Structure 1
Amino acid sequence: MLAIASAVLFFISFLINAADISTNHTFTSTNIMLLGLILLALHLAGVGTGWAVRGRRR
């Protein structure tokens, strides 16, 4: 789920950069790209995957 959110942020960042849309200083394409990188790093670290189901002990 975090990887999908990261891809969406990368796409928005690309559109802002490619269309040369002027935004305020908070929502620049670089800041949105960095948020996407944070989400991608969290996804790769395993955050948000839920609990692993363990097998029964015998």
Structure 2
Amino acid sequence: MFAVVAAVLFFFAFLINAAEISTNDVFSSVNVMLLGLTALALHVAGAAGWASSRSSRRR
């Protein structure tokens, strides 16, 4: 789930940068990219893995 969020955030950061859209300092392409990296790090760390580990305990 976090990987999909990261991909969407990276796409928005690319659009902001490629189209040279002027945004405020909070919503800049670098900040959106950093949010995407945070979501990607959570995905790699397994932050949403608790739901799948519970279902794998069934026999």
User: TM-score scaled to structure 1, two decimals?
Assistant: 0.88
Q: Which has the larger radius of gyration?
A: 1
1:31 paired to 2:59: no
**Structure 1 CA distance, aligned partners of 2:2 and 2:50?**
12
Gaps of 5+ in 1: none
Runs of 4+ in 1 over 6 A off after TM superposition: none
Matched length: 56
**Structure 1 CA distance, aligned partners of 2:38 and 2:11?**
15
Identity, in percent, stands at 59
Gaps of 5+ in 2: none
Larger helix proportion of the pair: 2
What's the offset of the Cα at 1:55?
4.7
Q: Which residue of 2 aligns with 1:7?
A: 7
1:16 paired to 2:1: no
String of CA shifts for 1:1-58, please: whole Å, max 9, x gaps.
10000000000000000000000010000000000000000000000123313256xx
1:47 paired to 2:47: yes
